[in-house]
Chain A
């Protein structure tokens, strides 16, 4: 219970830190510079500019503590103001959220499953054919820059071979519906972005899982299980893999931060209209409210996953519960 409480503490603290960073950055800049940034925003009329100046604490004589509390309250109730295009930020975000959630969620699960399984088997058959090829190869591949993998896939499969679409989340002619044709269209458009994310993340899962397994297989309880004459697959899964997977669960959240960051680059390269692409357009439009809100969304996503990973490792490993 203390463990859970401590992790909740980290959750609240990090969220607060992210909120405060968002609040402070525009205020730490000299006032005229803030105005300059604000005025670079697309199509802002004087009245809207004044509203933004109030929002960012420029040219106002309001007490900073009062503004800060107001800001925290607004964030907690999901009021992030308007984007440069005068649409509520939340509407824009909720509109794009499913695409990123689908892309990142599915690829993370696939990469974790592939990576963990290959890692377990290659450590079990140490020095075998699978072990000497896949882990080193995929480790090197996983260190390639995300966008480079994306560009190569785009070049080979979309530009040169023309097998898969160049960009976007579904074809221009399609209208969103639950029909089979539309679902297929969405899947075809998602293949390259998803493949990129899987290629760059599976390797590190394999690497850590294999190394954890190698260490675990040398433990006395594994030798004990062998002495008892248990079948090989039971030792591999119930004795070794179950313990070796624990560090991977904790690494899960950290990996997710990397995947989310990578998904921004992937969505940009493939013009996939999810949150990452929205983030990118926010930088070109100097759309500050949108960017701040998106930063919070990404932080919150990671924090939730950290919590889930914590609960999962508490379930699997009794030792963490009273640590």
Chain B
């Protein structure tokens, strides 16, 4: 039997036949609540999602109204100062939340779906299909993502749609490899043999029998991708590769860099969206870290110091 190379974190996420019902989900919810990192992560994401859903509750200034004093620092009226054309930075930060979060979630979800399609199929079907899909995954894993993105965005029309599509196409490979490894280890389980003997179709087996047993790895993949995508999308927009007419934290960074906000003594304009990106990324990262600990008890922090074996 082949021993797939999976990370120690992933190997512990394999569960038995899917446990459904309230008891399993309640136990999981309890584990999340008891983990301080997870609670902090959920809190951060909840607040940001709320701001994205109801930006109007936090500011009544139009983010595109260039009617105020230009390049001034924070004040009572403009909490984070104004831009070079006199827009309110705080209002831009609030209204920019929506598209920033949307791009992150859409890219991470879509890339997870692609990694399922490729990784799990490769593991389940095996043989020649597995070899060619694995090779495809390896090639995408090695191709340098940011340079590829820069080349692609140079030819494609600029905009959030392009960035989203290109990021989906370039970020699925790592998760696909993990899912394949996990799938390989599931393949010989009895409940799958039983399903095959029952004469179920492959698509049924993959969707109903395999995927529910990978749910924790899928969530982990999604979270890992989200951490990556938040910074990556902002980085692209920061370089000016996004659509600079759309309001995101990344485009705010682009404009502040273009107008020399740091040197002009208006650092808040640049540091605020940067910090927002960092906080969103941290929210996903905390959840991801906690998820590893919940899934793999060996990694949980030990409360008391162990007695030294040599002593």
Contacts and interface: CB of A to CB of B under 8 A. Distances in A.
A155 B309 contact: no
B35 interface: no
B262 A155 contact: yes
Given A14-B142, A144-B281, A291 B230 contact: no
A10 B135 CA distance: 8
Contacts of B204: none
Contacts of A288: 154
Contacts of A17: 139, 143
A283 B239 contact: yes
Contacts of A262: 146
A311 to B, nearest CB: 16
A137 to B, nearest CB: 11
Interface stretch (B48-56, B107-115, B296-304): B296-304
Contact of A146 (B152, B235, B292, B306): B235
Contact of B155 (A37, A126, A226): A37
Interface stretch (B122-130, B188-196, B210-218, B272-280): B272-280
Nearest to A303: B142
Given A254-B141, A261-B144, A292 B151 contact: yes
Given A14-B143, A146-B231, A25 B282 contact: no
Given A126-B302, A155-B271, A218-B298, A294 B142 contact: no
A25 B275 contact: no
B5 A298 contact: no
Interface string A108-133: 00000000000000000011100010
Interface in A9-47: 10, 13-14, 17-18, 21-22, 25-26, 29, 37
Contact of B240 (A126, A283, A294): A283
B281 A145 contact: yes
Interface in B1-60: 5, 7-9, 37
Among A22, A152, A218, A232, residue most surrounded by chain B Cβ atoms (within 10 Å)? A152
B138 interface: yes
B148 A21 contact: yes
Contact of A128 (B37, B152, B240, B305): B305
B142 A291 contact: no
Given A211-B8, A254-B174, 13 more contacts: A10-B138, A18-B143, A21-B143, A21-B148, A127-B303, A139-B289, A144-B281, A152-B274, A159-B263, A284-B240, A288-B154, A295-B147, A298-B144
Interface of A: 10, 13-14, 17-18, 21-22, 25-26, 29, 37, 126-128, 132, 136, 139-140, 143-148, 151-152, 154-155, 159, 166, 208, 211-212, 214-215, 218, 226, 229, 232, 247, 250, 253-254, 257, 260-262, 264-265, 268-269, 279-280, 282-284, 286, 288, 291-292, 294-295, 298-299, 302-303, 306
